[in-house]
Structure 1
């Protein structure tokens, strides 16, 4: 604690960053930012913008960058983006995905995580791109490599089969679909990797707004997990957690293999 206090006194650490280290969160006029979430849970904290004013969002984004080196905004309008850009230092790198309605800010010294694992993001149609894009951003920010397979809805199964090798190459899949939500069920019957169904609020009439898609995925005959309607952040975070476990397992396997190789080399030299 003394080191933190001395760093604040010397001007090397801001009060918000010091509070984040001591309490795990940074307090602002717009609310508290959970700076310790990624360390505690493995999932980065994100700022849901569409229920906040641009000013509130900008304040929280500044606290996020100050305390963790990064800010992630979801459901962000252009007004939110403009407010954040005005609030943050010019050296902060901004990455805006208009379709996914996300904004990611990285401080110059931020070191992004890197995982030895691939997440596949699959959409039934163009209408699913917003929720799927949000999932892709979160999985990527958790360190996974992300591959997109777009517009392979079940109205023509040949579109899915054309990408079967890509789907099977992923370590985990997020499959977004609206209307009756059949695509995740079909994909889960073709691959041996975990599938996360992401129902999307497309469709109309009876079962519209994602209700039929959610119900269909919950009733899936093939094995998959399902998140809430349009919950791209949750789907991406779940995929990121799976990717992290896969990456850790690969690292452990490489360590064991190297140890076995070293042991064999030593044994060989002894026998000589």
Structure 2
């Protein structure tokens, strides 16, 4: 659907298996209102990302009532999300509690698209026993999103312990030489564990979409 300011891609799900999401960062409340009005008229649902609490509070009471807003992940479900599938094939693992917000964006994205997940938190390499205690549990999942900032070591370590597909999700957690997540990103990109997939810094939405694409591709081959 076209307007003078936006052009909604209602055919994206047919092409890619994933419907368009609305990135709210940099958009005004007026622009988001207009987009959601067009989506509503089309009878569609949409995932809103980077929707801050301040911006959400600017919406009308009527519009707020149509959005399932989650401040921990800065996401919103406009209208009804996809029905949940029965299987739980994806694990989301965080190195520390400081990575929780990025993990929450990934989790909410999976939920919107109807995918169940297991969240395993605070098992970073600083206390390696925490990870080793749960390796058998982690091994059960075919797809594992590993969320880590600082030195970004956790995806490499998990990739060397289990056989599932690893999606490294570096976060901007850290200080100094962590360089707002660039060190974690580079660590994932240069990992000596073969076959790790890497998404951009703090891109929980992208990591979840990568996991969904993997599941979709696997189902087509069966």
What TM-score do you get using the length of structure 2 for normalisation?
0.89
Q: 1:101 to 1:144 in 2, by over 3 A?
A: same
Where does residue 96 of structure 1 map in the other structure? 69
Instruction: Give the aligned partner of residue 173 of structure 1.
Output: 144
**Bigger shift: 71-80 or 225-234?**
71-80
C-alpha separation between the residues in 2 aligned to 1:240 and 1:211? 25
Match of 2:52 in 1: 77
Is 1:184 aligned with 2:155?
Answer: yes
Q: 1: distance between equivalents of 2:12 and 2:43?
A: 10
Partner-residue secondary structure (3-state), 2:55: helix
Q: Which of the numbers 15, 20, 23 marks the counterpart of 1:45?
A: 20
**What is the TM-score of this pair, normalised by structure 1?**
0.74
- Of structures 1 and 2, the one with the larger relative CO (CA 8 A, separation 6+) is 2
Tell me the residue number matched to 2:176: 205
Quote the offset at 1:180 in angstroms. Answer: 0.6
Determine which structure has more spread, i.e. the larger CA radius of gyration: 1
Q: Deviations over 1:6-56 (max 9, x none)?
A: xxxxxxxxxxxxxxxxxxxx2345412222212211122111112111221
Partner of residue 126, structure 2: 155
Q: Measure, in 2, the Cα distance between the counterparts of 1:145 and 1:248.
A: 19
Selected match of 2:204 from 221, 232, 236: 232
Matched, 1:129 2:100: yes
Structure 2 equivalent of residue 106 of structure 1:
79
2:33 maps to 58
- CA deviations 1:38-80 (Å, max 9, x no partner) are 2211122111112111221222123234325212111111233
Equivalenced residues, count: 221
Question: Given the superposition, is the C-alpha separation of residues 38 and 80 from structure 1 closer, same or farther in structure 2, using an over 3 Å criterion?
Answer: farther
Distance 1:55 1:174 in 2: 35
Contact 1:47/1:61 (8 A) holds in 2: no
1:32 matched to 2:45? The reply is no
Once the two structures are TM-superposed, the CA of residue 175 in structure 1 deviates from its matched residue by 0.4
Greater mean alpha carbon deviation, residues 130-139 or residues 169-178: 130-139
The CA distance in 2 between the partners of 1:82 and 1:177, in whole Å, is: 30
TM-superposed deviation, 1:205 = 1.1
Distance verdict in 2 for CA 1:175–1:57, change over 3 Å: same
